[in-house]
A = this chain, B = another copy of it.
């Protein structure tokens, strides 16, 4: 007797922690939006829109954002160093400035071939360049040996959570709403996510009383809470934390002996106030209160994917460790060694991000112009979108502060919730799915980030150019409300 042999792996016997992980930013809606995009490309789709707008993910160069010329000119020389034999052509016919050539030569000297593995923690000279940037930014010393290049900040977060979590009762305080990298990584690791709510009524700021409550509840349940994640400026909220919030968090971290993970990838996407790094505030506190904060371990992350750089596809990033035990750092080094090194071209982009052309250098003027124009463009788009949301029935949204996102509250009628339940969806998922089907605009339901019980949101980037797509959201919303109004 023979039967068809069956596969070994099925949905019920693979890694359960991966099955449990959720990552809505590239979930069902995003997959569906890609199907729509493919149908539009083929033509004759009968879809009620002519393009898909991927507002689900902060992917600037997929939309309108142009790369910064200086960065890409240098990268072209790193990829093809043979071009450096034609300096005259580069300078006189191709518009390359002398500082482009200089930077490329310097990077090649330090890196060797960009096709070779670098040291596991990154090219030493690039780590030094990052350290110098941190010193300029914060006004306090930084050491290249504490810096680790990574494949975007995501891979840095993955490394840090991997090392910090000892067992399933190891707990990490994670803001809600949050970028789902954190909850997904903790799921995969089978460690405990300890959620703490951000305060929407205070521009999504951190509230230490709320954090304390979450900490104590988890501790009472036997969780060993050992770290706190802060995303500043916030994702998905856009919140840009004032110094007193940062001080309060560090104070709490010091009191409870929590490692602080500061996700600062949006540090240049700030529209209101100014970005203040956790490192600077920690060093300041250490100066003001000698000894008191010396136990606080801080890891802060940055990336080339966001800001005016927007080079997501290059997967460049780094993290800096402050006050980590050298033996723990050795384990981090070993862990990143297993994957060999971060992409070397991405490392070179990190170097240029932290050390761009300076005033007086030949490429400065164009760099400055491009940088400012991207910054201003994002601000204008954020405000235009915000203005549209203000006019929509049942939608509430604070003024854009930072990052690349707006995260409006949507108050939906009970009938919409009922219709959603019939489809087995939450009301915000239902709303976002209808929005996609009607307009081609892909956003992410608030449930993908976590939200206070009883509240509904969605996250949209404000990266897409033009106003047509904003108009289509407004129109959809009106019709949706008309259809489901109680």
The residues of A with any CB-CB pair to B shorter than 8 Å are 2, 4-11, 13-16, 18-19, 21, 23, 25-27, 34, 57, 59-62, 67, 69, 72-73, 75-80, 82-83, 86, 89, 93-95, 112-120, 151-152, 154-155, 158, 162-166, 181, 184-185, 188, 226-227, 254, 257-259, 291-297, 310-315, 323-325, 327-328, 331, 334-335, 337-346
Q: How far is the CA of A185 from the CA of B293 in the complex (A)?
A: 36
Whether A257 contacts B5 in the complex (CB less than 8 A), given A73-B80, A80-B76, A313-B341, comes out as yes
Which of A5, A60, A152, A311 has the most C-beta atoms of chain B within 10 angstroms of its own C-beta?
A5
Q: How far is the CA of A18 from the CA of B8 in the complex (A)?
A: 28
B21 x A117 contact (CB < 8 A):
no
A340 x B154 contact (CB < 8 A):
yes
B5 x A294 contact (CB < 8 A):
yes
Q: How far is the CA of A27 from the CA of B113 in the complex (A)?
A: 23
A18 x B331 contact (CB < 8 A):
yes
A4 x B295 contact (CB < 8 A):
yes
B325 x A118 contact (CB < 8 A):
no
Q: How far is the CA of A258 from the CA of B79 in the complex (A)?
A: 42
A343 x B315 contact (CB < 8 A):
yes
Q: How far is the CA of A67 from the CA of B14 in the complex (A)?
A: 40
Q: How far is the CA of A348 from the CA of B93 in the complex (A)?
A: 27
Q: Which residue of B lies closest to A31 (CB)?
A: B333
Q: Choose from B4, B7, B61 the contact partner of A297 (Cβ within 8 Å).
A: B7
A113 x B334 contact (CB < 8 A):
no
The distance from the CB of A344 to the nearest CB of chain B, in whole angstroms, is 4
Q: Which residue of B lies closest to A296 (CB)?
A: B5
B116 x A59 contact (CB < 8 A):
yes
Q: How far is the CA of A57 from the CA of B164 in the complex (A)?
A: 29
The distance from the CB of A94 to the nearest CB of chain B, in whole angstroms, is 6
Q: Which residue of B lies closest to A260 (CB)?
A: B8
Contacts of A9 in B (CB 8 A): 163-164, 226, 259, 297, 324-325, 328
Q: Which residue of B lies closest to A340 (CB)?
A: B154
Q: Which residue of B lies closest to A154 (CB)?
A: B339
The distance from the CB of A444 to the nearest CB of chain B, in whole angstroms, is 13
Q: Which residue of B lies closest to A96 (CB)?
A: B80
The distance from the CB of A294 to the nearest CB of chain B, in whole angstroms, is 6
A339 x B155 contact (CB < 8 A):
yes
Q: Which residue of B lies closest to A68 (CB)?
A: B115
A61 x B188 contact (CB < 8 A):
no
Q: Which residue of B lies closest to A58 (CB)?
A: B117
Contacts of A158 in B (CB 8 A): 338-339
B76 x A86 contact (CB < 8 A):
no
Contacts of A327 in B (CB 8 A): 10-11
Q: Which residue of B lies closest to A313 (CB)?
A: B344
